[in-house]
Chains A and B, each alone.
Chain A
Amino acid sequence: MTQVIDRSGFVQDTWSGTLLPFEAFWTGQDIPETGVGVIFEADSDPFDLQPWFERLEIVVIPFGSSADGRGFSLARQLRQLGFTGRIRARGHLLVDQFRAALRVGIDELEISDEHAARMTEDQWTSVPLPQTSYQKMLNAA
């Protein structure tokens, strides 16, 4: 089983629907009208997903290892391209990457129970989430 984490800490998984691999959209398989999400692998191109933005409730980005930072760029690109739905990072992410994940537009993480037992809720909720950052200040309008 897994544990979902958002800004408030450990939470129930509130999303239920049909989660499809990206190929399903590409090949035009019957896609439900509502309640649909995509598993978007790190080697995919966010531009390719843009036509489906309106229909997607959630994009799940798998993180194979905490050292693989591609998901941070993917999430940020999705936001830059205008995706406003939920973005979930699934896999091996550390407490120390939580702040960066939220800052690039990831809403929530999904980690294994084993992982959650070691990195307890208090560690996640004590991550400081400052209002500002160098990047925000530089591009402040």
Chain B
Amino acid sequence: MYSYSNFDADFVRSRVEEFKGQVARRLDGSLTEDEFKPLRLMNGLYLQLHAYMLRVAIPYGTLNGAQMHQLAYIADTWDKGYGHFTTRQNIQFNWPKLQDVPAILDALADVSMHAIQTSGNCIRNVTADHFAGAAADEIEDPRPTAELIRQWSTDHPEFAYLPRKFKVAVTGAPHDRAVTKAHDIGLRMVRNDAGEPGYEVVIGGGLGRTPMVGKVVRDFLPRADLLAYLEAILQVYNLSGRRDNKYKARIKILVHETGLEELKAKIEAVFARNQTLLEPVDAGIVARIAADFAEPTWVRKPVVDLPTDVGFRAWFDTNTAAHKNPDYAIVTVSTKAIGATPGDVTSAQMRVLADLGEQYSHDELRISHEQNVILPHVHKSDLPAVYASLKAAGLGTSNIGLISDIIACPGMDYCALATARSIPVAQEISNAFEDLAVQHDIGELKIKISGCINACGHHHVGHIGILGLDKAGVESYQITLGGDGTETTTIGERAGPGFAYDEIVPAVERLVEAYLGLREDETETFLAAYRRVGMAPFKSALYPEVVANAA
């Protein structure tokens, strides 16, 4: 794992001091609220419906046991004893007081963490495959690249006041678990014909009110050119991105309005100039980063026979994934017990996770964009002990990838932008399918719920997407079908008119029933079935009265 250099540590500390000064200047009137707002946002501090919210960066979703312990401490000391893991691999604290925020930032700095650039119109916390460095299908660990981008983008003097926020994601595996095609820049690590490492660069992806699948702007970028190329993209975007309308300010709109070819020509021109002007990236820093992400020293011990009881088997089948070391497994811990709030974890649970990470996962944990926690390196012989501890802490739910493993944004329970509730919808769907055996029979099914058109709940890429809107003061939920956030990224299709709050769960139940009735066999997933049969049968299941009226 990356360990802070003296510079990193000093930098984070000086930013805490700077923020203390900014709070003081806001309080004494030197700064107006309008002027203060971008400054607090750049330090992760939002003003929400009921309180301030502090968003803490977990760069590329990787943290260690001590850091997780500290998050638990913060939750207990300055919040209400829990935190919320987000779809951007961050953690949010929902109830801090403004005057406590500098102390929280200090506590974060104590464990090499911060809240810098988790908000605002700047380059945000870079995200990566949550199975990085562990997945069996990986070409290369994307985290050294992500860390290099973190350093380059942190406090970049040119790109702190962009037209709009800017998100970068990296994956090192052919199976895209990082939704790279829905980011402003998505990087896929590839090899060229000569076997040299580089990146496929995708730009202009995004969800929100204008969902777009990113487009390839460079199919092979040599590794050494990465930062010069990113500078070129950002410089073109900073100067040419729209600033007249915040809903049209993301780079996806620039790509759409300018056209990929023209924009690409501009980017390549700036890149060509950058190559002659920028010094190559310091090889010492690159080497140091790479060394920090070297593989752990794997434990060599025999793999014992695993328990055969139904509970363990179900958990093993759904919540573990293939590790590149065949003696190991990747464990995904579900934060989504039946009826729970997706992504919410109590301080007591954080401590259990921290301890398990330290004891059984080479002191590493990950946060996934699906709001779960990963123990990336668990020796198979340790799985029974890990499962027992998780189960005792209420973290043993065997539902990864299943219908109750729902992504939901905070929605109207917390968020100032929300137009509808998301969390209670997730909870009620979870309750409606509380029988895990039924969930296993339904198989892989990703439901994603957003409480407004900004799409933080990624509904566009849910197999079943749910978007909560406000229709003349009443919540109305729209359903989209067939979305996909992997390497075959697809924006879901809208099924038809919206459903009232009390109609949405029955509607989901009808969709599932329709799927179970039409699938070829249990190996055909919901998404595969949808792709085969199309919208029509699902539409008739969703709107039976229309079918009845037509008859």
Contacts and interface: CB of A to CB of B under 8 A. Distances in A.
Interface of A: 66-70, 72-74, 76-77, 80, 94-97, 99-101, 103-104, 118-120, 123, 126, 128, 130, 132-135, 137-141
Nearest to A43: B239
11 contacts: A68-B243, A70-B238, A76-B158, A80-B273, A94-B39, A100-B157, A103-B157, A120-B30, A123-B25, A130-B14, A134-B156
B155 A133 contact: yes
Contact of B238 (A73, A118, A119, A130): A73
Given A69-B121, A135-B157, 8 more contacts: A69-B160, A76-B158, A76-B235, A118-B30, A134-B154, A138-B281, A139-B281, A140-B282
Given A73-B235, A73-B238, A135-B156, A68 B161 contact: yes
Contacts of B156: 134-135
Given A138-B281, A139-B279, A72 B38 contact: no
A125 to B, nearest CB: 13
Contacts of B238: 69-70, 72-73
Contacts of B121: 67, 69
B35 interface: yes
B312 interface: no
Interface in B15-71: 18, 21-22, 25, 29-31, 35, 38-39
B220 interface: no
A129 to B, nearest CB: 11
Contacts of B11: 134
Contacts of B155: 100, 133-135
Contacts of B235: 73, 76-77
Contact of B151 (A97, A101, A138): A138
Contacts of B185: none
Contacts of B442: none
Interface in B106-154: 121, 148, 151-152, 154
A106 B330 CA distance: 50
B243 A104 contact: no
Contacts of B158: 69, 72-73, 76, 100, 104
Contacts of B273: 80
Of the candidates A100, A133, A139, the one having the most CB atoms from chain B within 10 angstroms of its own CB is A139
B18 A128 contact: yes
A134 B151 contact: yes
B159 A137 contact: no
B152 A134 contact: yes
Interface string B56-95: 0000000000000000000000000000000000000000
Contacts of B299: none
Given A67-B38, A135-B156, A138-B152, A72 B30 contact: no
B469 interface: no
A93 B44 CA distance: 21
B162 interface: yes
A120 B29 CA distance: 12
B282 A70 contact: no
A141 B7 CA distance: 18
A92 to B, nearest CB: 9
Of the candidates A68, A72, A123, the one having the most CB atoms from chain B within 10 angstroms of its own CB is A72
Nearest to A63: B161
Nearest to A104: B157
Contact of A137 (B38, B277, B285): B285
B505 interface: no
Contacts of A74: 239
A76 B154 CA distance: 17
A119 B14 contact: no
B511 to A, nearest CB: 43
Contacts of A95: 25
B374 to A, nearest CB: 28
A73 to B, nearest CB: 5
